[in-house]
Amino acid sequence: MEAREPELRRELDATLQARAELGPEYESALIDSFLEKVEQRLDGTLDRRMRRSLAEQRTTTARGGAEPARPGGGFGERFGFAAVSLVLAIPLSAIGVANAGIEGLVVAWLGIFGVNAVHAARTWPSNQARKRTSSDWDG
């Protein structure tokens, strides 16, 4: 994280230093503030990726290339969604345990599971609708 996100690393260091100075009673507010900054960073990154993907898709379509991506998204979108949910699982788990113990951890992971299940269900019909061809089975 240090090489790629020095600003985010500085924010984390500042949050940890503030927690040490202010004590545990401000821990929740500090964590919320830091997570909001991480969320803003992720939103910005996802926005840029979506704009880039849409521009590439339009360019390909305009040039008469392959058909646009399926509504369920390709492997990259599914992998990205899974990666983001696992990255966010770490602070969500910590917050859940800190505030409600093991019950908070269970609730956090049930929420993560639910979001991923909904995402998988959203992509499932497009995967089922696609007919298999002999090339699907070729290695």
> Is the CB of residue 2 less than 8 Å from the CB of residue 9?
yes
> Is the CB of residue 72 less than 8 Å from the CB of residue 123?
yes
What angle (nearest 5°) sits at the alpha carbon of residue 80, between those of residues 53 and 96? 140
The rounded distance, in Å, linking the Cα atoms of 122 and 116 is 10
Type of residue numbered 23: G
Going residue by residue through the chain (139 aa), what tens digit of pLDDT does each one get? 445 678 888 888 888 888 888 888 888 888 888 888 888 888 888 888 888 988 888 888 888 765 555 555 667 777 788 888 888 888 888 888 888 889 988 998 998 888 888 888 876 655 544 444 444 444 4
**CA dist 126 to 54, 72, 77, 114, 119, Å?**
19, 6, 14, 20, 12
Q: Where are the domains of the chain?
A: 1-68, 70-130
Q: Which pLDDT score is estimated for 131?
A: 46
Q: Which pLDDT score is estimated for 70?
A: 54
> Is the CB of residue 70 less than 8 Å from the CB of residue 126?
yes
